[in-house]
Amino acid sequence: MQEPEYNVPRPFVRHFDATVCNLFPDVDKKSFKILDVAAGTGLLGLELNKLGYQNIDALDMSQEMLNRAKNKKVYTKLICTAITDQRMNGIETAEYDALTCSSAVCAGQVQPGAFAKMLNFVKPGGLLCFNISFLEEKNYDGKFKELEEAGQWRLLKKERIPFLLEKQLEECYLYIYEGQRKVPS
Ligand X SMILES: C[S@@+](CC[C@H](N)C(=O)[O-])C[C@H]1O[C@@H](n2cnc3c(N)ncnc32)[C@H](O)[C@@H]1O
**Residues at the interface with ligand X (CB under 6 A):** 8-9, 38-40, 43-44, 60-62, 65, 82-83, 102-104, 109-110
Nearest residue to ligand X by CB is 40
- Shortest Cβ distance from residue 116 to ligand X (Å)? 14
Nearer to ligand X, 109 or 133 (CB): 109
Nearer to ligand X, 103 or 180 (CB): 103
Nearer to ligand X, 24 or 82 (CB): 82
Number of neighbouring beta carbons within 10 Å of residue 22: 11
- Shortest Cβ distance from residue 166 to ligand X (Å)? 13
- Shortest Cβ distance from residue 87 to ligand X (Å)? 14
- Shortest Cβ distance from residue 65 to ligand X (Å)? 4
Nearer to ligand X, 62 or 139 (CB): 62
Select from 147, 155, 91, 105 the least CA-distant residue to 127.
155
What is the distance between the alpha carbons of residues 101 and 160, in angstroms, rounded to a whole number?
16
- Shortest Cβ distance from residue 66 to ligand X (Å)? 8
> 138 CB contacts (<8 Å, ≥6 apart)?
none
Four-residue CA torsion sign, 52, 64, 133, 2: positive
What is the distance between the alpha carbons of residues 172 and 15, in angstroms, rounded to a whole number?
14
SS3 for 160? strand
What is the distance between the alpha carbons of residues 6 and 28, in angstroms, rounded to a whole number?
29
What is the distance between the alpha carbons of residues 125 and 83, in angstroms, rounded to a whole number?
21
Nearer to ligand X, 112 or 125 (CB): 112
